[in-house]
Amino acid sequence: MYTMSELSPQRAAVLAFLRERVGQGAPPSLAEIAACFGFASRNAAQKHVQALAEAGLIELRSGQKRGIAIPGVEPDALLSLPVLGRVAAGLPIGPDIGLERQLRLDRGLFALRPDYLLQVQGDSMIDDGILDGDLVGVHRSSVARNGQIVVARVEDEITIKRLERSASGIRLLPRNPAHAPIVVAADADFAIEGIYCGLIRQG
């Protein structure tokens, strides 16, 4: 069995990365390990992971895409999430992105693990229970299913709405009859920034 001092610098760095991610409750996939260290393929990441497992420094759980565990490292029950700015539940507003503060929250509050929080401004999503001033958790993703609540960028402005894709194009739907849908023009600079995964209501 290897000790930490006997590992190559690169393998020790991979182990440190795994310990950090497992401690956060988010074991990485082979693709994420490869991307983090600039490996040409997942096979290179697999070799490092397998060697660490054979050395007894990590445990692999068969049949799980992210089945990496570290002996003695228990996942933190709390998430440390940055509050990055504001998101409009109404007309889109400028993203006002910039780290405002960091919050530690119970991961059980969210259906999907969020990467960051945004503060809602406006009332267009009240029928989905998303109110002005709420902090919404956002899971970074450039894709979403039809009907999901998404954080989207339209021409450098950020908004939270339900996604509707149809043969006629894309609309961002409010959940308040006082607000009209946002019709995304075919030539618009449009991107899905993330998927809504829960909220925190501030006292």
**Residue 132: what are its φ and ψ, rounded to 5°?**
-55, 130
Residue among 47, 62, 124, 168 flagged as catalytic? 124
Cβ atoms of 133 and 122 closer than 8 Å: no
Displacement of CA 110 from its chain's centroid (Å): 11
Q: Which of 141, 142, 161, 166 is catalytic?
A: 161
Locate tokens 């909220």: which residue? 199
Q: Is 47 a catalytic residue?
A: no
Q: How far apart are CA 1 and CA 23, in angstroms?
A: 23
Question: Known catalytic residue: 124?
Answer: yes
Is-contact 60 52, C-beta < 8 A? no
> Which residues are annotated as catalytic?
124, 161
